């Protein structure tokens, strides 16, 4: 692993830890409001994206596998967002 | 001989991705069922949430991210030789730390009476317990691979470990935060 790759690898970890702490903090203070819940879900997707692209080393890949792996968290988190929107509209 | 080896490698890779996708499909279905149950019973969902400990789950997110990072480091170091033992060992230890925190969290939740909340609580234990089993099993395999590392085994367990990590990163906001 060269220096640039090592720095990028550490940067990925820093981003993941920041997003994990930030997501938990915002989620803890959300109080059921839609905007912070959306922020939490977007941060969760960003974390998943880092895992797929950098930890699984698929950033340079053009395979359908990469798209499918990125779609999995996107679909579930979108459903969670739809649920939150529905609950806030009804409730 | 080389062709047979290459075919073996492709076969291993195909099996690995079939395994990963079977896990993602199973957890996807469970998480969708959980969201539907939460939506059908908003009062029960609010009561259920009051028994959870998102702080411990957030700590577990950080632990699992560090674990996945060590597993990825093992692959980047070439996946074989003594150099990969340490990151694999650390990945396994972080995995076991995750399990310990989760067990502590379960203890607190059971003491607070979460078991009396019916289907939602049952589904919660199924989803998170199934994931916990994967973490414990994955940590055991990481330890085995750390003992005798080879490139193929390191890549395989690291990929599975990242899939388990990905499942938790999606499960955490769905179960605890939203």
Helix (H) and strand (E) counts in chain B: 6, 0
Rounded to a whole number, what is the distance in Å from the CA of A62 to chain B's nearest CA?
16
**Cβ <8 Å between A17 and B65:** yes
Residues 6+ apart with CB under 8 A from A46: A15, A19
Q: Which chain A positions have a beta carbon within 8 Å of B41's beta carbon?
A: none
- A45: its two tokens: 């997707």
User: Any idea which residue has 């969708």 for tokens?
Assistant: B32
SS3 A60: coil
pTM for this model (two decimals): 0.93
What would the pLDDT profile of A38-47 be if each residue is shown by its tens digit? 999 999 999 9
Q: Which chain B positions have a beta carbon within 8 Å of A44's beta carbon?
A: 169-170, 172-173
- Please name the residue of chain A whose CA is at the shortest distance from the CA of residue B42: A87
Task: Count the domains in chain A.
Answer: 1
What does the alpha-carbon distance between residue B67 and residue B91 come to, in Å, rounded to a whole number?
4
- CATH code of the domain in which B77 resides: 1.20.120.80
Task: Count the domains in chain B.
Answer: 1
**Cβ <8 Å between A48 and B166:** yes
Question: By CB neighbour count within 10 A (0-12 exposed, 13-18 middle, 19+ buried), where does B33 fall?
Answer: middle
Residue A83 near chain B (CB below 8 Å): yes
pLDDT at B34: 95
What would the pLDDT profile of A12-35 be if each residue is shown by its tens digit? 999 999 999 999 889 888 777 889
Give me the domain span that covers residue B101: 2-177
**Cβ <8 Å between B173 and A5:** no
Q: Which chain B positions have a beta carbon within 8 Å of A91's beta carbon?
A: 42
Averaged confidence pLDDT in chain A: 91
Whether A7 has a pLDDT exceeding 50, the answer reads yes
Question: Per-block average pLDDT, block size 10, for chain B (178 residues)?
Answer: 54 87 97 93 88 93 96 89 92 98 96 87 95 97 94 94 97 91
Interface test with B, best of A6, A51, A73 (most B CBs within 10 A): A51
SS3 B80: coil
CB B167 within 8 A of CB B68: no
Residue A22 near chain B (CB below 8 Å): no
Residue of B143 and A88 predicted with greater confidence: B143
Local structure of residue B81 (DSSP, 8 states): S
pLDDT at B43: 86
CA distance to A17, B47, B120, per residue, from B68 (Å):
12, 33, 30
What does the alpha-carbon distance between residue A54 and residue A68 come to, in Å, rounded to a whole number?
16
Longest CA span, chain A: 54
Rounded to a whole number, what is the distance in Å from the CA of A74 to chain B's nearest CA?
9
Residue A17 near chain B (CB below 8 Å): yes
């Amino acid at each position: 692993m060269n220096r640039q790759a090592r720095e990028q690898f550490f940067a990925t970890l820093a981003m993941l830890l920041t997003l994990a702490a930030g997501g938990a903090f915002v989620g803890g203070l959300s109080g059921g409001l839609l905007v912070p819940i959306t922020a939490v879900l977007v941060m969760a997707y960003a974390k998943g994206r880092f895992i797929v692209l950098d930890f699984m080393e698929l950033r340079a890949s053009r395979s359908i596998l990469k798209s499918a792996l990125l779609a999995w968290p996107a679909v579930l988190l979108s459903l969670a967002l739809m649920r939150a929107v529905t609950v806030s509209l009804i409730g | 001989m080389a062709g047979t080896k290459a075919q073996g490698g492709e076969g291993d890779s195909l099996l690995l991705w079939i395994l990963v996708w079977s896990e993602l499909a199973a957890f996807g279905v469970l998480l969708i069922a959980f969201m539907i149950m939460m939506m059908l019973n908003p009062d029960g969902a609010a009561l259920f949430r009051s028994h959870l400990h998102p702080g411990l789950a957030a700590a577990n997110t950080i632990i699992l991210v560090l674990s996945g990072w060590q597993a990825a480091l093992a692959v980047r170091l070439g996946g074989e030789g003594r150099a990969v033992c340490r990151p694999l060992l650390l990945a396994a230890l972080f995995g076991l730390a995750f399990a310990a925190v989760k067990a502590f969290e379960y203890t607190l939740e059971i003491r607070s009476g979460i078991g009396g909340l019916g289907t939602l609580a049952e589904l919660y234990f199924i989803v998170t317990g199934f994931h916990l089993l994967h973490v414990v099993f994955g940590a055991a395999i990481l330890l085995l691979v750390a003992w005798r590392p080879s490139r193929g085994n390191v890549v395989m367990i690291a990929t599975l470990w990242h899939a388990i990590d990905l499942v938790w990163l999606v499960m955490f906001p769905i179960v605890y935060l939203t």
